[in-house]
Amino acid sequence: MGAQTASTLFDDRVLHTLQIAIHSRDWDQLRSTYLENDHYPADLTWNGIRVTNVGVRSRGRTTRSGVKPGLEIDFAHYGTGGQFLGLQALVLDNMLLDKSMIRERVAMAFLRRFGVPAPRESFATLFINGQYAGLYAMVEEVDSGFAQRALGDANGALFEYRWLRPYYGEYLGDDLDLYRPLFEPRAREYDSVFNLYDPIRELFRAINDTPAASFRDAVGLRLDLAAMLRLVAADVLLAEADGIVSFAGMNNFYLHRHSTTQRHQFLPWDKDFALFQWNYQITDGTSQHALIRRALEDPELRSLYAGFLIEAVESATDAGWLEQEVQRAYEQIREAVLADPVKPYTNEEFEAEVAMVIDLARRRPAFVLSEVQRLFGGR
């Protein structure tokens, strides 16, 4: 056996096998209280490597289930310094809302291919105490380890965005407590409220209150605008309806603040609503979104964005990458999905959904390109 690394774990060319040994009562308890975040001890085995005393908990927001629970494996829950292949945690996504079960994995692969810092993912068949418990996506946790790998900065602040109501990036006011519920710290949790949230407040103040002429410079001090536009362009190509620019405000992202530059960067999360409609309008949600709307009012940023959109189309169509990736993912998981005893949809629904995604992969890039040319007139 060669050296095992996190890259091996997230090698999406392989359908992995995960074994979890968990006390039968704990597993029953986890499933019956799947809305709670209680951790249970377990042993995890992958590729012949057994990791003892990991913490397992139910996870997810709209995807929580007592039948096929989404799981988080926390390697450090029962002792500081706990890790596996350099990872502090591993997410097992139950893909409950995606009948094709390939959207999340393919979308994240495209984001990384397109140069967006995105979690690594691969598929795994999961066995609980020797019993097949279904197909899962193994997702790299967005934490300080991820920030170090993807951004070269493990010491920055990191927030998980919490969708509470449609929020389009407007300035909420001076009170820092207005921002705290929306941005939940995932690193530097013990910093003061002021240190954590004052930069976020000032970011949204700058987004909304800066005159147009100085928008790019003022906001650019606090936010990596190019990285943001690249992510939005990728989401557009992926017909992502539930990302930073979604049908109901901002959603599904982490916000990282670099420890030295103090600039923020959006990081994508949860792509199970991507690839959902081939002709999803590329401007949907942008007019309401304070950040996108104002950024696209700046000619230089608008041109940059248009370029990113075209680049995304080229990346998706290069050697038919998107269509081939969807097809490859489908073929990789088909048998495992058909055998999945706890998926909340039928095999027929799975096949029909995959067919729809394959159709989208064929038609979406051309649609986006035509829309870009119509709206932006080329670069």
Residues that bind other proteins (CB under 8 A): 21-26, 41-43, 52-55, 77-82, 129
Q: How far is the CB of 38 from other proteins (least distance, A)?
A: 11
Instruction: For residue 125, count CB atoms less than 10 angstroms from its CB and return exposed for 0-12, middle for 13-18, buried for 19 or more.
Output: buried
CB 106, min distance to other proteins, A:
34
Q: How far is the CB of 77 from other proteins (least distance, A)?
A: 8
Give the DSSP per-residue string, 167-234. --S----S-GGGTTTTEEEEESTTS-HHHHHHHHHHHHHHHHHS-GGGHHHHHHTTB-HHHHHHHHHH
CB of 130 to other proteins, least distance (A): 9
Pairwise CA distance, residues 123 & 16, whole Å: 6
Place of tokens 């410079």: 217
Shortest distance (Å) from residue 270 CB to other proteins: 29
Q: Would you say 22 or 255 has its CB closer to other proteins?
A: 22
- In the bound state with other proteins, the residue whose beta carbon lies nearer, of 24 and 260, is 24
Between 89 and 228, whose beta carbon lies closer to other proteins?
Answer: 89
Nearest distance from C-beta of residue 23 to other proteins, angstroms: 5
**Closer of 23 and 379 to other proteins (Cβ):** 23
Shorter beta-carbon distance to other proteins: residue 186 or 294? 186
Contact 58, 37 (CB under 8 A): yes
Q: Of 43 and 284, which has the nearer Cβ to other proteins?
A: 43
Task: Report which of 339, 332, 4, 7 is spatially closest to residue 140, judged by C-alpha positions.
Answer: 7
What is the rounded (10 degree) CA torsion for 249, 312, 157, 254?
A: 40
Contact 254, 266 (CB under 8 A): yes
Give min distance, CB of 42 to other proteins, in A.
5
Compute the distance between CA of residue 338 and CA of residue 112 in angstroms, rounded to an integer.
29
Could you tell me the two tokens for 197?
């949230």
Closer by beta carbon to other proteins, 55 or else 249:
55
Task: Compare residues 49 and 339 and give the one whose CB is closer to other proteins.
Answer: 49
Place of tokens 């019956």: 32
Report in angstroms how near the CB of residue 28 gets to other proteins at its nearest.
Answer: 12
The end-to-end CA distance of the chain, in Å, is 49
For the chain, what is the total number of helices (H) and then of strands (E)?
Answer: 11, 11
Pick between residue 82 and residue 115 the one whose CB is nearest to other proteins.
82
| CA 271/CA 106 separation, integer angstroms | 9
Nearest approach, Cβ of residue 81 and other proteins (Å): 6
The Cα–Cα gap between 101 and 329 comes to: 9
Sign of the C-alpha dihedral, residues 351, 352, 355, 357? negative
